[in-house]
Chain A
Amino acid sequence: MNTLPHDSLRQKLAAQFAEILDSAYILTREEELRPYECDGLSAYRHLPLIVLLPGDIAQVQQIMRICHREQVPVVARGAGTGLSGGALPREDGVLLSLARFNRILDIDADNLVARVQPGVRNLAISEAARPFGLYYAPDPSSQIACSIGGNVAENAGGVHCLKYGLTVNNLQALDVVTVEGERLRIGGAGLDSSGYDLLALMTGSEGMLGIVVEVTVKLLPIPERAQVAMAAFDDVETAGQAVADIIAEGILPAGLEMMDNPSLQAAEDFVHAGYPTDAAAILLCEVDGDNEEVSAEIRRVRQRLLDSGASEVRTARDDAERARLWAGRKAAFPAVGRISPDYYCMDGTIPRKHLPRVLSEIAAMSEEFGLRAANVFHAGDGNLHPLILYNGNQPGELERAEAFGGRILELCVEVGGTITGEHGVGLEKINQMCAQFPPEELQMFHAIKAAFDPLGLLNPGKAIPTLNRCAEFGAMHVKAGDLRFPHLERF
């Protein structure tokens, strides 16, 4: 075996960590490191210097003290399902896996909270709370695999955000280990705390400000009933208008999802959800609440969808049909994975009213780049997931897919949206950050980072680009409505 880079540093650190951790939890050999070389964004890979699997908070603190003293970068990793390369290791840094922090510490039904370790899977919290009639609301599609610590790092969303909020809205407290190895309690037992809202700042900070070692989440009572309607549309524009019409009706759906023809076809072929494969787009609209309330609302939703031009509206007759209709949506990504060797998932958010324009421009770009795209849309909250289909074995296709994706994100910024709704910036979208933010804001982000991590050891190089990088990337910052020469056609 060839010697890995930085091998003397590896050996030196391994000896220090051996005083804290059992050797089984210190990985240094190439075949042990290989599984950690990437997260859910497999286009980027680096072998970490060393992988550590601590089992308690005191060990995390000791590890951080050593890394701080030796000035070694640390990348924290949960389940590794992230889609933006946030947990991509560094060849000169420690990969800190929280996988062994997998215990649910307490379900406090009287106070509607659960205290869990960061490696606990999202869905496991709801499963543990179910006997109490409670659940944890945010439900990213990867919820069977993704960990709550990763959800905090990314401020994960899901299909029920419009009504129930994001991770940041469903947290009560965090325990964090700082870069110096100090333990910090953020939030408390009550709803409000004194001082700045560091809970909000920490949520979505992509492992740049501290290591989350314990999470207290809020739990909600399970609604008495949920019911879903599926509507088919002959064109995407009508479907987009139907979404606005439902909101205008004063209905706040628990979930409101759109799929375009390529994605609904792929999903139908994969899980046989019963989608009409000749539709240009379908909407899934779920309402939840009391029995009587749901019956009344689903009738209103049905009528509204028909009045808004749906060619067909189907309401799930029972829980099995409801589960089937959702299964197609939740399996949309793997379904697209079946029809293309590779796909690249984007995550822009736009004001909903711009959906028709954005989709038609994506279609034009698809022609231009010679790559197919399938669109999945959290229509209720404006979060768009275009999936760009490509073949990584064809020279140049990955680069074309990335260029296509970059253009989609810049378009999202141009219409007043954002480059990432829920997947995070990570390494993947770091160049597009230059299009989203002017230099002063980026400087402020670096200043915030420095307040927590003066040496820049926590997940360095992710989430916030340096100004030099932006200059090199040459992105034009576009402030909404302040585009130069707005009359020019751009794509």
Chain B
Amino acid sequence: MADIAAQLQDRVRAAIADRRPLRLHGGDSKAFYGNPVQGQPLDLSGHRGIISHEPTELVLTARAGTPLLEIEQRLAEQGQMLSFEPPHFGGGATIGGAVASGLGGPRRPWGGAPRDQVLGTRVLDGQGRILGFGGQVMKNVAGYDVSRLMAGSLGTLGILLEVTLKVLPAPPLSRTLILEMDREAAVSRMRELARQPVPLSGACHLDGRLYLRLSGSEASVNAWAGRIGGEMAAAHNTFWQRLRDQQLDFFQRDRPLWRLSLAAATPRLACEQEVLTDWAGAQRWVYTDLDADAVRAEIAQHQGHAQLFRNAGTLDCFQRLTPLMLTLHRRLRQRFDPHGILNPGRIFDD
């Protein structure tokens, strides 16, 4: 439990004076993700501690370096959870990193992404100022929603010092069903279920098997499990955690891993040569022999987004922004970080 905001502020001021960019990291569990940053490492994991958690307000505030595990344990003691199921990857992940990366886990289509649960932030900007946005309440439309803008900005708009999140009651029961079927049948089954009020909290297809996770009241989960059929998985949590943290064998290949974000019902695309389908069809992890431009062109046709998530080599991790979008991104970044010292180049070139 330590507040090192003042030291971090000094480091930012020194970086401005020396014109030396900073490479921000918490647990550094997502170092593989995003474009490489040339800069002095700035470790944020020392700025840690849960500042407040009021179970009956459904709100938690923590310093950004607080380990995700610590937060999840504290919430679990009160029967609550982070609904976006953030990945921990190799371990050591912090809440600041979870929000800054904007990544949601298998529950994403139903539980939202970090941006959906962020209520407020305290931010150290690229001028060394500490600014507060949003607050501790669920509904707040005073001023622009800078807190949600921070989510997914990978530290390029400011250093997250504190985040306030909406937390939710954990469902009393979760069960996983496994149904043997091919990929096309699985996607149509997932879509059919997603259209009904099924208590889904995960829907993934891999290697001829459809995995469905149901979470909710006992009555509801059992009734739907009976209707859906399939085989009930024993240690159901293991699969979803290994999926969330990319520990499944599928993720262990030493070649570029694509993350495709598409309309869930999109039929299999040419680039989907080896594929793990998650989020009931809306997120696809893909290995392909096609070159990056071909993948991006195909995804753009379907108004989706493609990222090179792992092993990007020298390629740009992110989809190229349109010229107008890039102009707006650069202008925004310029406002938050006029000296260009915070994670320059992580998402786009300044």
Contacts and interface: CB of A to CB of B under 8 A. Distances in A.
Contact of B137 (A224, A245, A421, A452): A421
B172 interface: yes
B138 A188 contact: no
Interface in B264-302: 264-266, 279, 282-283, 302
A201 B217 contact: no
B88 interface: no
Q: Which of A189, A224, A245, A251 has the most CB of B within 10 A?
A: A189
4 tightest A-B CB contacts, nearest first? A190-B261, A200-B148, A421-B139, A292-B219
Given A290-B197, A292-B220, A436-B143, A441 B304 contact: no
B116 to A, nearest CB: 5
Contact of B143 (A222, A224, A378, A445): A445
16 contacts: A155-B145, A165-B116, A188-B304, A190-B282, A192-B113, A251-B169, A292-B220, A296-B217, A351-B137, A352-B57, A382-B137, A433-B143, A436-B142, A441-B143, A444-B125, A451-B332
Interface in A157-194: 157, 161-162, 165-166, 168-169, 178, 182, 184-185, 188-194
A445 B220 contact: no
Contacts of B102: 192, 197
Interface centre among B131, B136, B146, B262 (most CB of A within 10 A): B136
B109 interface: yes
A491 interface: no
A356 B133 CA distance: 26
A381 B136 CA distance: 11
Interface stretch (A23-31, A105-113, A363-371): A105-113
B144 A252 contact: no
Contacts of B141: 154-155, 204, 418, 420-425
A304 B170 CA distance: 19
A196 B197 contact: no
Most B CB within 10 A of own CB, among A200, A421, A452: A200
A441 B133 contact: yes
Interface in B128-184: 129, 131-133, 135-146, 148-149, 151-153, 157, 168-170, 172
A464 interface: yes
A200 B115 contact: yes
A416 interface: yes
Contacts of B148: 168, 197, 200-201
A188 B215 CA distance: 28
A190 B211 CA distance: 21
A351 B60 CA distance: 12
B169 A189 contact: no
Given A353-B56, A444-B131, 8 more contacts: A134-B195, A168-B148, A192-B152, A192-B305, A221-B195, A290-B199, A293-B216, A424-B141
B137 A441 contact: no
Contacts of A133: 195-196
A43 interface: no
Which secondary structure characterizes the binding site on chain B? loop
Interface in A223-267: 223-224, 244-245, 247-248, 250-252
A447 interface: yes
A195 B216 contact: no
Contacts of B138: 161-162, 349, 381-383
B58 interface: yes
A109 B196 CA distance: 11
A193 B305 contact: yes
Contact of B324 (A182, A245, A425): A182
A417 B135 contact: yes
A197 B152 contact: yes
A479 B132 CA distance: 10
Contacts of A349: 135, 137-140
A350 interface: yes
A4 interface: no
A196 B149 contact: yes
A447 B331 CA distance: 9
B86 to A, nearest CB: 13
A109 B191 CA distance: 9
Interface string B299-321: 00011110100000000001101
B134 to A, nearest CB: 8
B139 A194 contact: no
B82 interface: no
A413 B178 CA distance: 50
Nearest to A419: B142
A122 interface: no
B69 interface: no
Interface in A329-376: 349-353
Contact of A416 (B135, B216, B318, B335): B135
Contacts of A442: 143
B139 A296 contact: no
A467 interface: no
A448 interface: yes
Which of B115, B135, B142 is packed against the most chain A CB atoms within 10 Å? Answer: B142
